[in-house]
Each structure stands twice: as C-alpha cells, then as structure tokens.
Chain A
Amino acid sequence: QKEVEQNSGPLSVPEGAIASLNCTYSDRGSQSFFWYRQYSGKSPELIMSIYSNGDKEDGRFTAQLNKASQYVSLLIRDSQPSDSATYLCAVNLGGGADGLTFGKGTHLIIQP
C-alpha cells in the first residue's frame, strides 16, 4: 500500500516569513515527486516537480528531496497571503503510465 503522509495543519506563517511543508512516503520505488497547490473548490495546480536528491529552486519555491529518508519538502520564501491554500504532496513510481498517490495536504495560512 503506497502511502504519502503530511501534517494536515493548519500551518500559520507570518507574511514575509518562510513556510516549510513536509512530506514522507512509504514506497521506496517512488521516483517522481510533486507539490501541488489547491484552493478550496478548485483543482490542484502544479508548483514543483523533483526527481533527484537535493534541492530544486523555482522563484520563491524550493523543493528538497531525500530518497534515503523518504522525505520531500517544500519551502516558500517571502510568503504572501495569496499563498494561503492546501499544499498536496504527490508521488509516483516514475513512469507516465502511473497515476499519483497524494497526501492529505497541509493547510497553509499566511497571516498578513
């Protein structure tokens, strides 16, 4: 049974600070890792994908992957109120034929 675990939150962060979101996964065969943002009532939108150990930066977002620890994280720098949303961690075994296994998501609140 593939599992992806996230702290459901809510995680409250002051505006301008760094928000740190964490995720662990159970399937060691997982190869592809994604962070999605989902606003209430909307479908998820991709923020970052990461496939190799280490850090990957894209603007204010940094994804970190540690396959040995089965851990992936997302850092959001200079947090803005518009970043308030539920952040979903998703993994799959790496092939395009595989769907994604999602965590339950972390509800992030950026306080103005």
Chain B
Amino acid sequence: GAVVSQHPSRVICKSGTSVKIECRSLDFQATTMFWYRQFPKQSLMLMATSNEGSKATYEQGVEKDKFLINHASLTLSTLTVTSAHPEDSSFYICSAEGRMTDYGYTFGSGTRLTVV
C-alpha cells in the first residue's frame, strides 16, 4: 500500500531558529502533498497544498514566508518553519495524494515540534 514517510518524528528547537520537516512518498509518486497542523485537543487544520514543480497554495491565515514549502520532486515535499516561536509548537502532519491511488490520502507519521 501507499506509504508516506515523515521525518523527524520529534524535534525541539530554540526560539528564532528554523526547522525543516521532510515528507516522502515511498512507493508512489505524489502529485500533490498537503501539510496540516494539529494543536492539542484540536483537529487537523490544512495549512497548505503543494504541487510538484509549482508554488504551494496556502490556506487563509497561514504565513507563506514563515512556513516555506518545497515540492521539488514527485516523492519529496519539505516544510520549513522559519524563525520558530513557542506558539508554533504543534503536531505537523503531511499527506500525499498520488496518481495511482483512488484519492486515498495517506498520512505521514507526524512531527511533534516543540519550540523553547
């Protein structure tokens, strides 16, 4: 089945630094990848949609200069949280939709970001 690998699973960083999260589709080509954020006891909120080879589309209220998304290949998308602040601490989850799947949204295992 479709597998999405997300790395790292957990990261602690200092306020003001940047953190990069990787999302890889291991056994299929992901034309579109999605990035979600989940705060404690809240649901997943879509942050942005990235399409291979083009600019990401950000949801309303999400700062594109703060959350940089790169989808340079059909198997890799990265999310960089720039100048992280404690309020950016959250669970970040990617998902991928591939040409071969029946709109099956496969999720990565998530990244727990803690900014101190």
- Chain A residues with CB under 8 Å of B43's CB are 88, 102-105
Q: Is B32 an interface residue (CB 8 A)?
A: yes
Contacts A88-B44, A97-B51 known; A42 to B109 CB distance under 8 Å? yes
Indicate with 1 or 0, residue by residue over B101-114, a CB within 8 angstroms of chain A CB atoms.
01111111110100
Chain B residues within 8 Å of A49, by CB: 102-104
Question: Is B3 an interface residue when CB atoms closer than 8 A count as contact?
Answer: no
Q: Does B67 contact A (CB under 8 A)?
A: no
| A100 contacts B42, C-beta separation under 8 Å | no
Secondary structure of the A side of the interface? Answer: loop
B41-55 interface (Cβ within 8 A of A):
42-46, 49, 51
Partner of A96, one of B45, B91, B103, B110: B103
Residues of B near any A CB (own CB < 8 A): 6, 31-32, 34, 36, 42-46, 49, 51, 91, 93, 95, 97, 102-110, 112
B103 x A99 contact (CB < 8 A):
no
Which A residues are CB-close (under 8 A) to B31? 96
Of the candidates A41, A100, A104, which one forms a contact with B105 in the assembled complex, judged by CB atoms under 8 Å apart? A100
**Complex: chain B residue closest to A98, CB-CB:** B49
Cβ–Cβ < 8 Å partners of B102 in chain A? 49
Residues of chain A at the chain B interface (Cβ within 8 Å): 32, 34, 41-46, 49, 88, 90, 94-105
User: With contacts A43-B110, A46-B107, A96-B31 known, what are 5 further pairs, Cβ within 8 A?
Assistant: A46-B106, A49-B102, A95-B103, A97-B32, A103-B43
B1 to chain A, nearest CB (A): 10
Q: Is the CB of A43 within 8 A of B46?
A: no
**In the complex, are the beta carbons of B46 and A100 less than 8 A apart?**
yes
Which residues of B have CB within 8 Å of A98? Answer: 49
Q: Which residue of A lies closest to B107 (CB)?
A: A43
Given the known interface contacts A43-B93, A105-B43, the answer about A97 and B49 at a Cβ–Cβ threshold of 8 Å is yes
B57 to chain A, nearest CB (A): 9
Q: How far is the CA of A98 from the CA of B57 in the complex (A)?
A: 11
Interface centre among B32, B43, B91 (most CB of A within 10 A): B43
